[in-house]
Structure 1
């Protein structure tokens, strides 16, 4: 029997799907706002020695990777490249959504944590003395170190930025954006399929190479100590992978090229038994978003007497799950988990 034509998604169901990702977008926007707001905070300023040679490097008026270039490298480039990869591979709307959300979430997390750490630690940059413009023949106190009060430079922005060496923001953000792109490429290419193709490895690691160059440029401009760059790079890589795994299976999964399926209410699972709950289950849908799903091995065989409502919901679900991977099994909704915990304590 030929499949029924796919009907448009109902307005109610569309709203439920949109609201299921609303918390993710809200948190991401709040983190991004925190990143920009923290940039204006005065922050802590550590004492330093005027005789410390590691702080007496020249102040670079022009950076090798200025802020505008950083935005192009860590945000715009992945934002453009990932949709192109999507079109060339699985052509999934959910991959487009999850890839964009994961990228922005990783950058927002990295930026907020980096800024908070910077203003809390208050480590002087290697060029702090050149920024400070201390009086001629100035020396440290006999029993102590110098503070920013000894500086004659009245440029508030330059002096505020002079005590934000740890960790490197350029390094963390470049590794967050380009690192996410590397994981995205690795998933699409099935880097860990145990076949050992060196070409896939080099292609997947190429974005990381760009992030490394950005990090190295920060030491060349004497904006950061090597410790700042190392920690910033590790921080960005961690949040890139953390964000990637929120919306994609493990890189060793057979379905690593697909995003996780949309979040669906539990009451729909009873109507749609084909909605997988294990990563070991084969792919649920076709690669293209342009046609109906035909992988019948993962759906219940419908009888001719099935109710129209169930068929309609399943048609909508097919459209939503095209080009996705089943979500792995878990404890279920948090409310149910917490309720079970309270019941166990009462017993």
Structure 2
């Protein structure tokens, strides 16, 4: 009886001990699982040796004896080397993002040349962000951020000069060119271009898709013979035609508000005080629009239609050159945010 009572007591103590151990283990395992689930995941760090990327880039294009000649530089970067260096210098001095600064360990980050080259190559070739990871040594997310910062900086630093409306001197130059071409008072041609939006949100596809096509965003532009796009209106849905876009555009805001430049021209004995644009037949018949003759009758009408249709191709030629120089506009837009596009 004594042996059996001792065994029962030991068994009870052992059961209580095992119960406490199981509860302790279960509690700590549950806490560990909760911590792992709620713990923020860290990005996988890849040592890309960004210093080597900057050195290779400098030796290939920017050293005293570069690997590639200036004509290849011009073709690949869509600009000359002095122009690119001046842009990089100004960005690194005036935009904090493009300044090369050391981190907490004293190691310097990506150089301004690497960031600008990533953005320019994405604009020029329209490829994904990780295409040049092996050469420039920066990841896809960093390349996309460089593209966004580069565009914002270019608009901020150079927009007032290169996106401005024609100055009086340049307006007179446009009028002189138009008169030489047989259109006195003409200051450019106007038209619209559609840019495909691949990642258009599904809830927006109905208003950005025309027929059975793909979602597009409309760009309205006015261009001169030298391919200068001095008016650009972008962002409207692709379901709108040229007339609907014109109704929302600001191209005639100066005329409506009385700030239009003063122009005095005489055509067929009639005096006109407003400049005009060349366009195709979809636009309304306004005094500031000169259209072609659909079915010209007679030699005079045929010559006018031929000259008008030839001169109004300036804006379409500007669209073509823009897409050939910067393939990001030719290829479907890959971004999700329309403001960034």
Fold-level match, TM-score > 0.5?
no
Larger Rg: 2
Structure number with greater CO (CA < 8 Å, separation at least 6) is 1
Scaled by the length of structure 1, the TM-score of the pair is 0.29
- Higher helix content, 1 or 2: 1
- Higher strand content, 1 or 2: 2
